Amino acid sequence: MKIPTHVAIIMDGNGRWAQQRGLPRLLGHREGANSIRACVEACQQAGVQYLTLYAFSLENWKRPMTEVTGLMGLLESFLRERTDEMLRKGIRLRAIGRLQDLPASCYQLLRDSMASTAQNQAFTLILALSYGSRAEIVDAVQSIARDVKAGKIQIDQINDQVIGDHLYTSDIPDPDLLIRTSGEMRLSNFLLWQSSYTEIYVTPKLWPDFRTTDLHKALEDYSNRHRRYGGVAE
């Protein structure tokens, strides 16, 4: 079976999962953390090398403060409880986004976990935190403009490669497969530049219900796709 090098997931449906059960939304997010662990293990076993999870968007800061605080608490718990496990399993942790927006304690834990796992090479887990793709592109344009002003690059040298080199994901391959749970048919400002030729798989499953068998279905579907990159099918 053809296995994608990089899988990206929009983890949607935690709130709806909780509401359907008459539970607080935060319990949906907590249950969703179990899906994260299952997908990391399944991706690693299948031979996927990179997994990017849309964990917290720039827009999510607009949610009620109680929910935002709870989400930050879940992130801190994940970092405290899983860093040693990632070290044992050879998992390197990365994060993309405007990370400086995170609470100071959370940001420090994240930096410590990334530093601890930086030499791991078996698998890379990337968390998109305080992330928005348009903001990423704006940050890249501003960085390129500073380089032009400093004489490091000429305007006519700016191309796709230069822009890619200034994105948060400059050293990460573009995703081959993007999975979205909960049946929604949109990218929600996630990896817009990087997903130009990404295969998209949408499942009606809510994220807390998404487990290993669901990931395997997505990988099987991907293996049957013919990626032409604008060319003609053979």
In a 10 Å sphere around its CB, with 0-12 CB exposed, 13-18 middle and 19+ buried, how is residue 85 labelled? exposed
* pLDDT for res 57: 98
Q: What pTM did the predictor assign?
A: 0.95
Active-site option among 60, 147, 174, 221: 60
Share of the chain above pLDDT 90, in %: 96
> For residue 187, how many other CB atoms are within 10 A of its CB?
16
Tokens of 136: 């990423």
Query: Would you call 139 a catalytic residue per the annotation?
Result: no
Tens of pLDDT, residues 9-64:
999 999 999 999 999 999 999 999 999 999 999 999 999 999 999 999 999 999 99
Look at residue 234 and tell me whether its pLDDT is greater than 60: no
* pLDDT for res 218: 98
Active-site option among 12, 14, 176, 214: 12
* pLDDT for res 1: 85
User: Which CATH superfamily includes the segment(s) 6-132+174-223?
Assistant: Decaprenyl diphosphate synthase-like (3.40.1180.10)
In a 10 Å sphere around its CB, with 0-12 CB exposed, 13-18 middle and 19+ buried, how is residue 143 labelled? middle
Query: Would you call 12 a catalytic residue per the annotation?
Result: yes
Tens of pLDDT, residues 109-162:
999 999 999 999 999 999 999 999 999 999 999 999 999 999 999 999 999 999
Look at residue 229 and tell me whether its pLDDT is greater than 70: no
168 falls in which pLDDT band (50, 70, 90)? very high
Tens of pLDDT, residues 89-106:
999 999 999 999 999 999
Antiparallel, parallel or unpaired: β 177-180 and 6-10: parallel
- The domain segmentation of the chain, as residue ranges, is 6-132+174-223
226 falls in which pLDDT band (50, 70, 90)? confident
Look at residue 232 and tell me whether its pLDDT is greater than 60: no
